[in-house]
Amino acid sequence: MITKEIAKMLIEQINLELHSAYIYLEFANYYESQNLPGFAHWYKVQAGEEYEHADRIRHFLIEAGETVTFSPIGDTVKGFKDAMGPLKEGLKHEQFITASINKIYEKAVSLKDHLSANFLQWFIKEQGEEETNAQNNIDKLEMVGLGGTALYLLDKEFARRED
Ligand code: FEO
């Protein structure tokens, strides 16, 4: 139903999505250590979303009759200077994921693997939202600064993220 080349790329993408969850949970660890539970919550929710992305691809491949197996997940980034560190890293990471999704999509189109190309369109839209969210978080923290009442209130805002 789908090409072997795209199936292989999608299995690698599952790994990247699970790696994203791992990276974002590491961000949550950092924010917990900085007494910013709202920021930690935001990234815990984001990690859950990444797990769902991985599972969406896994499900698609299995439905298409492919066999899925996993590889080791990569390391995380640690040792941030301040609360802005993970947010900047998060935007960079989402841009990397967008490039990866686009590459698979372009390959699927070139191979006339229409089923995979159609499936990937959901991810292209999702990546647009992911990059916007990551940029918005940076903009908000730049506006409020790295301390004081405004940061406390932004942490409360991040604590209200539901999905
Ligand atoms: Fe699944 Fe944040 O990209």
Q: Are 5 and 103 in contact (CB under 8 A)?
A: no
Domain that holds residue 136: 4-159
Which residue is associated with the tokens 């998060």? 90
Which residue ranges of the chain lie beneath pLDDT 50?
Answer: none
CA of 129 to the centre of ligand 1 (A): 9
Q: Are 26 and 145 in contact (CB under 8 A)?
A: no
Query: CA-CA distance, 90 to 94, in Å (whole number)?
Result: 6
CA of 148 to the centre of ligand 1 (A): 31
Report pLDDT for 11.
98
Predicted TM-score (pTM) of this structure: 0.96
- Residue 62 sits in a domain of what CATH number? 1.20.1260.10
Report pLDDT for 147.
85
* Total tally of structural domains belonging to the chain: 1
Report pLDDT for 163.
85
Report pLDDT for 144.
95
> 17 CB less than 6 Å from ligand 1?
yes
> 94 CB less than 6 Å from ligand 1?
yes
Which residue is associated with the tokens 């090409």? 3
CA of 17 to the centre of ligand 1 (A): 6
Whole-angstrom Cα Rg for the chain: 17
> 20 CB less than 6 Å from ligand 1?
yes
